Structure 1
């Protein structure tokens, strides 16, 4: 059976897996960066998993990235600026095709491939990762829509509040300045939240689940920003499904319920009312499945 190597390059950890053409993870490794050289970590994963031979490599990576040049500059990996990721992998695995996309795009593709609603691979979806940052990826009419540079679907940098806070990307009032985990925590602390433990998104979600007013308000505020971005994307791309993953999304209905309420309050046009919002079903392996699907797309083998 043909197998491919899937690689998930995150800001704090790297993961990789050997995946069969039928979508079965055969072997998997995960390594935290934690002060290590990212290139050395990547080489360790590739050497450990691809030694038996793989037919192709698919990579989902934190961005921004440039698929044309094959370079990445992940915000949380300062050692990698315009790092030639695909070229480096090709050097280590000569004659093996390498395909790259954004990490959230791979989450979207993984959900479409391995967790289709009703067993259908038709339709369109937006995959979102809500975590330290907010990323997104699109599958349109059953195909990943990556864009010219590979950054299509970057929903975290849609402006939802033109008079809002400055974003590290250089714009103002991006979704990420309101709905990312750190942004929610900052807003809650500034508005009187007094955590009895670590002041992080998990603690904030716990307090929201218990009904602490400022924590509930932080999630409602984030949900409103996300709903605005989702409806904007749906209006432009006519998507009918949104899948949300990432650390903050692990809060479940604490985040999903207010998003659904906000959507219902604002979906004025009939076609927007088709939009369904769901939690990811693939957990932390969603990006690996998507990276594998990218790699399989370079092969003439059955999915």
Structure 2
């Protein structure tokens, strides 16, 4: 019997997805459910293990050799624990151990969601063939991962590139991470919608979506507060990207996640703002790219991690093929 699949899990503050992924990065089976982010720790874990159990009930499961997890962070890949800012009851939660138990002892590899997206996009997406790239997820939170010199560079605990918690407003709002004025506190979908509502915006007509997708639709119609919300988000992202480029000399930034689906409502002001912030000669040419794998990048990157050395953060192997 062929044993050529990895069970990939992508855990975010809004949704948890799981899939069976083949060696070519193809997704063969998939399940998705809402993340009960404010519920007790075991309830959140149950969402993960239930999703994996649904895959395990299918005919392809005997071909699975490992599990790769991309989780909202911070993560501690060395300890196998997670402490996502947007999942408050998971603090030093032993995710690797618990998922290993739930899958009958399969090897489990943990990566941060930003690093998972970077691995996926470098393997099969918009960053393929590029050597120095920041890959970002802009969704419930804002995360990132770095490809430098053609390799994923996750750092000692797996959090390198976590651009969402770079401060771009020194006197800004307090972020749940404890700092002030973080990129995430301004630019995430959650905070785009929060700011728009605080400024008095409400969805009009039959559209009752007061979240980021609703704000994006209103911005496309030219409503001023939604347009300002996305302008504000874009400027925060641009400031963080420019700071990263100045530090490590990236050639491009790849942006995925649910907020990226807003399209030019986000990307047009982002490119304009990046021109204002990235002014030094060696950062002026940073190209802004839309994630080639869309919202699947995290799953594909988690699968790449699953083919690496078990229980470590390295994605040598699949991601480099």
**Pairing of 1:146-185 with structure 2 (within 5 A):** 146-185=154-193
* 2:126–2:254 Cα contact (<8 Å) kept: no
SS at match of 1:22: coil
* 1:56–1:298 Cα contact (<8 Å) kept: no
SS at match of 1:273: coil
Tell me which of 37, 46, 53 is aligned to 1:40. 46
Determine the structure 1 residue equivalent to 2:226. Answer: 215
CA RMSD of aligned residues (A): 2.3
* 2:13–2:141 Cα contact (<8 Å) kept: no
Determine the structure 1 residue equivalent to 2:151. Answer: 143
Taking a change above 3 Å as real, the CA distance of residues 80 and 263 of structure 1, as seen in their structure-2 partners, is: closer
Q: Cα distance, 1:207 vs. partner?
A: 1.9
Tell me which of 195, 198, 203 is aligned to 1:195. 203
* 1:68–1:149 Cα contact (<8 Å) kept: yes
Tell me how far apart the structure 2 counterparts of residues 185 and 14 of structure 1 sit (CA, whole Å).
Answer: 21
Determine the structure 1 residue equivalent to 2:281. Answer: 270
**Pairing of 1:92-107 with structure 2 (within 5 A):** 92-93=102-103, 96-107=106-117
Determine the structure 2 residue equivalent to 1:252. Answer: 263
Tell me which of 63, 66, 69 is aligned to 1:56. 66
Q: Which runs of 5+ in 1 are unaligned?
A: none
Tell me how far apart the structure 1 counterparts of residues 73 and 243 of structure 2 sit (CA, whole Å).
Answer: 22
Q: Cα distance, 1:194 vs. partner?
A: 4.2
SS at match of 1:52: helix
SS at match of 2:62: coil
Tell me how far apart the structure 2 counterparts of residues 106 and 230 of structure 1 sit (CA, whole Å).
Answer: 18
TM-score (ref. length: structure 2): 0.85
Q: Which runs of 5+ in 2 are unaligned?
A: 311-315
Of 254-263 and 138-147, more deviation after overlay is shown by 138-147
Q: Cα distance, 1:11 vs. partner?
A: 2.2
TM-score (ref. length: structure 1): 0.90
Residue by residue over 1:187-214, the C-alpha shift from the partner in whole angstroms, topping out at 9 and shown as x without a partner, is: 3334343432443212221221122222
Tell me how far apart the structure 2 counterparts of residues 257 and 224 of structure 1 sit (CA, whole Å).
Answer: 11
Determine the structure 2 residue equivalent to 1:228. Answer: 239
Determine the structure 1 residue equivalent to 2:91. Answer: 81
Tell me which of 10, 14, 27 is aligned to 2:12. 10
SS at match of 2:271: helix
Tell me which of 19, 24, 27 is aligned to 1:25. 27
Q: How many residues align?
A: 301
Taking a change above 3 Å as real, the CA distance of residues 101 and 281 of structure 1, as seen in their structure-2 partners, is: same
* 2:13–2:140 Cα contact (<8 Å) kept: no
Determine the structure 1 residue equivalent to 2:313. Answer: none
Tell me how far apart the structure 1 counterparts of residues 192 and 75 of structure 2 sit (CA, whole Å).
Answer: 26
Residue by residue over 1:23-50, the C-alpha shift from the partner in whole angstroms, topping out at 9 and shown as x without a partner, is: 1222222233456823333333333435
Q: Cα distance, 1:113 vs. partner?
A: 0.8
Taking a change above 3 Å as real, the CA distance of residues 81 and 16 of structure 1, as seen in their structure-2 partners, is: same
SS at match of 1:60: strand
Tell me how far apart the structure 2 counterparts of residues 168 and 274 of structure 1 sit (CA, whole Å).
Answer: 33
Of 57-66 and 9-18, more deviation after overlay is shown by 9-18
- 1:130 matched to 2:138? The reply is yes
SS at match of 2:292: coil
